[in-house]
A and B are shown apart, each in its own frame.
Chain A
């Protein structure tokens, strides 16, 4: 079974440019998450899709970030315009749809996209 894939693996752009990151979750996983790790800091949640709907976007830093998941399959995360502080590693994760009040599913992380904004 293929894991979570992300594209590109690296991206170097200049401040003010636009970048679009793509994530393909594990087939059959309704839940898709975006996280970001800025160098030396903890991994921070950005948002959570259930199928094509945004369940929780409380972690999105500002309106320069736009995430979509049309059709409930792959997802894109667009940063426009990029700022220096957007540099970091962007991880996508996916999980199955089963959960209960006291059990949460493990999340399968992709390899990440390392974004550098110059």
Chain B
């Protein structure tokens, strides 16, 4: 079945440093969605990318979708303590499984003040 590999598994940064998490697939993806889960919380949708080479920004967060639609990245500039949590990429399976989200393993971000 469809798989999305996400790295790194953990990232520890000092407040103010940048952070990047990557997702990769061996197959072309229909889309990429990014979710954030705070400690003890639930996944919250951040953004969706659907176009080849697409780049979207939300304040300090920059999301990219690769030209071949096989990889994506989330970059946070100047991290803050409020950025802590687990960041997941996910993609829709398509076809009759259009609603099914396949998640990456997640990257756990800790930010030291």
Give residues in A with beta carbon < 8 Å to B.
31, 33, 35, 41-45, 48, 50, 55-56, 58-59, 91, 93, 95, 99, 102-104, 106-112
Contacts and interface: CB of A to CB of B under 8 A. Distances in A.
A33 B102 CA distance: 12
Given A31-B99, A56-B97, A104-B48, A112 B42 contact: yes
Contacts, number: 66
Interface of B: 30-31, 33, 35, 41-45, 48, 50, 88, 90, 92, 96-106
B26 to A, nearest CB: 16
A45 B96 CA distance: 14
A59 to B, nearest CB: 7
Question: Main SS of the interface on chain A?
Answer: strand
